[in-house]
């Protein structure tokens, strides 16, 4: 079992016991070819739209910019907020702010400890092993209608 899978199991136990309030960001990064950037996580082997937790004293926008840089090696400057969601799975009280930014086709540099693969995908040819929440957000994006409800 790798360290990320073990850590995720420990976090689930922590969430079950404490039911913490958490805030995270995710971003849909579109390119000139009408594709979206997805990252594959080492802990579960699923593809996600990039993102992660907001640190103490960090703005939502800064967290979004940092997560894209850490996970993909891409520097963005002005992502825009498109929606906010809540997630009560895994015993959490999680709130996710979704951003959007367009970027030119660019080289992606993944963090091999957390992210094992990253690439641009057409919205009608997404990987099968993709998180349900990320798939729903991309479906909403391609249909031009975000729901802003449950993740």
Question: pTM score, two decimals?
Answer: 0.86
- pLDDT, one tens digit per residue, over 53-86 is 999 999 999 999 999 999 999 999 999 999 999 9
- In a domain, residue 77? The reply is yes
Give the chain's domain count. Answer: 1
pLDDT of residue 1: 57
Measured CA to CA, the distance from residue 36 to residue 131 in angstroms comes to: 14
Measured CA to CA, the distance from residue 67 to residue 61 in angstroms comes to: 10
- In a domain, residue 89? The reply is yes
Q: What is the CATH number of the domain that holds 99?
A: 3.90.79.10
- In a domain, residue 151? The reply is no
Measured CA to CA, the distance from residue 36 to residue 19 in angstroms comes to: 32
Q: Tokens for 14, please give them.
A: 């922590």
- In a domain, residue 135? The reply is yes
- In a domain, residue 148? The reply is no
- Structural domain containing residue 16: 3-142
């Amino acid at each position: 079992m790798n360290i990320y899978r073990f850590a995720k199991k420990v976090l689930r136990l922590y969430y079950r016991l404490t039911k913490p309030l958490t805030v995270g960001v995710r971003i849909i990064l579109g390119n000139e070819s009408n594709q979206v950037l997805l990252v594959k996580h080492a802990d579960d082997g699923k593809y996600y739209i990039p993102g992660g937790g907001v640190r103490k004293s960090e703005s939502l926008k800064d967290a979004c910019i940092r997560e894209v840089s850490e996970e993909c090696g891409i520097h963005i400057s002005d992502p825009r907020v498109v929606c906010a969601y809540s997630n009560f799975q895994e015993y959490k009280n999680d709130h996710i702010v979704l951003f959007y930014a367009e970027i030119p086709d660019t080289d992606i540099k993944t963090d091999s400890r957390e992210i094992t693969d990253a690439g641009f995908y057409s919205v009608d040819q997404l990987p099968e092993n993709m998180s349900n929440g990320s798939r729903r957000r991309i479906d909403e994006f391609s249909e031009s209608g975000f729901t802003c409800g449950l993740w």
